[in-house]
Structure 1
Amino acid sequence: MIDFHSHVLPGIDDGSDCVEESLEMLHTAKNQGVSTMLATPHFYAQDVSVDHFLEKRKKAYDTLKRCMDNSDCPDIRLGAEVCYFRGIGRAREIEKLCIEGTRVIMVELPFRQWDEEVLRDVEELMEKQNVSVMLAHIERFYAYQKRKKIWKEVLDLPVIFQVNAEFFDGRKKRKLIKKLVEENRPVVLGSDCHNTDRRKPNLDMGYSFIREKIGQNAVDEIEKVSVEILEK
């Protein structure tokens, strides 16, 4: 299993507080069958430059890597959870925040009603920056979208949908993910783990639910898409 969303790097955002907590998170994920975990700390353009963020991320990763026992930890691939901002599609150096070794960037859209500008910014990000967009935890935004036309237009974009493993905690969320999977849209799972308490690694729960409620074929397709993304 590949965990596409985690806050496992120590001391860089609201995720892991220290190396010891990060190691416990990694061991938990490994025991669940996670082979690769993407470290995707929050990036807020209003607070930090791209280069400064990358320096902080490298420092946090290097600190963790020195303490890792690779036999008990998944591989780590570096990325970022880029918080949406107006004009993101035209932002300089934004492509540096792509998942390591790919042209895929994870974007967290705003927790509010989306509008035409949000739609246009995502389109520009793909067209002007020549990147593929992965929308973080897509299921968490449904409740904010009263203008279903905009919601549908965003879902119709050629993006990758990252889903959090606990999506099954709501009927509408389950229905959305089932629809995306059955339509053969590119879906990947992430734990969005932040700590070892309330938001711990739980990717196995998401996979188990999909296997039980949708079927093994859906699991196989998600795993296939996941591997293909990291090999781009």
Structure 2
Amino acid sequence: MFDFHTHILPGIDDGSKNINITKEMIQAEIDQGVNGIVLTPHFYAQQDDPVRFIERRQRAYNKVIEELYNDLTLDKKFSDQTNPKFKLGAEVYFFSGMAKSKNLSDLCIEGTEVLLLEMPFRQWTKDVYREVKEIIERQSLTIILAHIERFRKYQKDISIWNEIMQLPVIPQINTECFQSWMSRRFVFKFINDGHSIILGTDAHNNTDRPVNMSQGREALKKKFGEVILNDIDMLSDKLWRNDES
């Protein structure tokens, strides 16, 4: 089971504030059956430099690894460094010209050509569509669209939304969305319309934005049965392994 969207690394964005919160969040992932965690702090091109971002991310990650395997209070699974598995990534906010960026592949999920892209919180335009299409074609990247359920309400004209959804993109759904009747209804319809999805908790802390993978999966299972979870896990495993077949 995989969590493709998290803000678990401490002190690097608006997610975990310190290593203790980070350890609690990772323990929650283990308790809920997650054994593959993608660490995706925010990256904003207008505010940050990719090289500096990657250096900060690596320092935060090194601290986490050091703490985890020296902490005897954590789940015994941490004694085996193969479980849980982590991959570094980034939640990259959309910016004009990103398809031509020489650093974009450096922000992909570790060991893959998969990019977690946060779309603009506004009406999407032809320029947005062309940028996403060029990222796929020019850079040969696979795009995961972060928390896709958050953007539909901005699309008064859904023509561009439909065009983007016809591209070979992977919609990611936040498991927290099943707590809201409106967003839950959107996701159920989205799946019924034939869209394949993957899941992420987008967890930032242990209070108002906690790890809630088990709740999200249970809501999907109740609506669609076990088959939907099998489909999600198969697609997630393929992305994790960077399997292009």
TM-score normalised by structure 2 residue count: 0.90
- Deviation per residue, 1:171-223 (Å, 9 max, x gap): 45334433443455331100000011100100111100000011111111001
1:36 to partner: Cα distance: 1.2
Whole-angstrom CA distance in 2 between matches of 1:177 and 1:124: 27
Provide the secondary structure at the position in 2 that maps to 1:195.
Answer: coil
Question: Structure 1 176/154 Cα, relative in aligned 2: closer, same or farther at 3 Å?
Answer: farther
What are the residue-to-residue correspondences of 1:54-65 with 2, within 5 Å? Answer: 54-65=54-65
2:72 aligns with: none
1:229 aligns with: 239
Question: Does residue 203 in structure 1 map to residue 210 in structure 2?
Answer: no
1:152 to partner: Cα distance: 1.0
2:77 aligns with: 71
1:24 aligns with: 24
Provide the secondary structure at the position in 2 that maps to 1:5.
Answer: coil
Provide the secondary structure at the position in 1 that maps to 2:151.
Answer: helix
Question: Does residue 84 in structure 1 map to residue 94 in structure 2?
Answer: yes
2:156 aligns with: 146
Given that 1:8 and 1:39 are in contact with CA atoms closer than 8 Å, whether structure 2 keeps it comes out as yes
Provide the secondary structure at the position in 2 that maps to 1:166.
Answer: helix
Q: Number of paired residues?
A: 232
2:196 to 149, 164, 186: 186
1:93 to partner: Cα distance: 1.3
1:48 to partner: Cα distance: 1.4
1:90 to partner: Cα distance: 1.2
- Deviation per residue, 1:100-159 (Å, 9 max, x gap): 111100000011111111111000111111100000000011111101111111111110
Runs of 4+ in 1 over 6 A off after TM superposition: none
Structure 2 residues without counterparts, runs of 5 or longer:
70-75
1:42 aligns with: 42
Provide the secondary structure at the position in 1 that maps to 2:16.
Answer: coil
Whole-angstrom CA distance in 2 between matches of 1:18 and 1:157: 38
Whole-angstrom CA distance in 1 between matches of 2:33 and 2:180: 25
Provide the secondary structure at the position in 2 that maps to 1:66.
Answer: helix
Kindly, what percent of the aligned residue pairs are identical?
Answer: 40
Supply the AA of the counterpart residue of 1:116. Answer: K
2:6 aligns with: 6
2:115 aligns with: 105
Whole-angstrom CA distance in 2 between matches of 1:49 and 1:206: 34
- Deviation per residue, 1:25-53 (Å, 9 max, x gap): 00011101111111000001111111111
CA RMSD of aligned residues (A): 1.5
Whole-angstrom CA distance in 1 between matches of 2:164 and 2:96: 16
Structure 1 residues without counterparts, runs of 5 or longer:
none
2:137 aligns with: 127
Whole-angstrom CA distance in 2 between matches of 1:199 and 1:172: 18
Question: Does residue 217 in structure 1 map to residue 223 in structure 2?
Answer: no
Question: Structure 1 154/175 Cα, relative in aligned 2: closer, same or farther at 3 Å?
Answer: farther
1:115 aligns with: 125
